[in-house]
Amino acid sequence: MQWIAMITMLIDHIGAVFFPHVVELRIIGRIAFPIYAFAVYIGYKHTRNVQKYIWRLFWIAVISQVPFMAAFNHFSLNVVWTLWSALLVLLALDRLSSKLISIPIAIGAGWVMEWSHMDYGMYGLLLVLLFRYFKGPVLVMAHVVLNALYLLLHHSSLQMYSMLATMGIAIAQYYQAGFRLKGPRWIWRYFYPAHLAIIAVIRWI
């Protein structure tokens, strides 16, 4: 799954920077984010040291910020900040003494993510939370509702194609597939800033 996420993300970013009118590249790219959102939840669920996990995502977000802005030529916070924020929300929800304040915390975090212009913003947080609370057909339907809300707010149907990834994850869950990181971990961790830096250099040249 991580290879699918990295390759589809690369295709998406190449399309966004160099071929903005080729919508097929952006459609392929919609597959990537649900996999990353799911990976954050799975990583949080199975990590042996959540503090190290939080710091690792934080530093990847920091390292990626300048390449992100250079590649896309605009100022906003890259998607790793979104995943990092969602990770903090997951931790907060598990450590709350009262579940009554979980919704205000999630809403407040989502507002901060929107206000600070994190990539995907509140949508990204809600998608991570969907993977926390739902599985199978219910997960798929919840993502359909989330994408419908995105369509109403942003007037873009492109995000609907992200359902392909969520359906794949739901099917894998149904067959009780194990989700473990395979291959060199450094590729999974640093592909994001590395490919953005390469795209930025090519664009500059």
Query: Tell me: the pLDDT tens digits for 117-169?
Result: 999 999 999 999 999 999 999 999 999 999 999 999 888 889 999 999 999 99
Mean pLDDT score, 56-63: 97
Q: How many domains does the chain have?
A: 1
Mean pLDDT score, 58-67: 97
Grade residue 183 by pLDDT with cuts at 50, 70 and 90. Answer: low
Alpha helices in the chain (DSSP H): 2-18, 23-29, 32-46, 50-72, 79-95, 102-115, 121-133, 136-154, 163-174, 185-204
Q: How far apart are CA 83 and CA 121, in angstroms?
A: 10
Q: What is the pTM of this model?
A: 0.92
Grade residue 181 by pLDDT with cuts at 50, 70 and 90. Answer: low
For position 182, what pLDDT does the model report?
Answer: 62
Mean pLDDT score, 25-44: 96
CB 102 within 8 A of CB 93: yes
Q: How far apart are CA 17 and CA 14, in angstroms?
A: 5
188 has a pLDDT exceeding 90: no
The whole domain housing 120 covers: 1-204
For position 177, what pLDDT does the model report?
Answer: 66
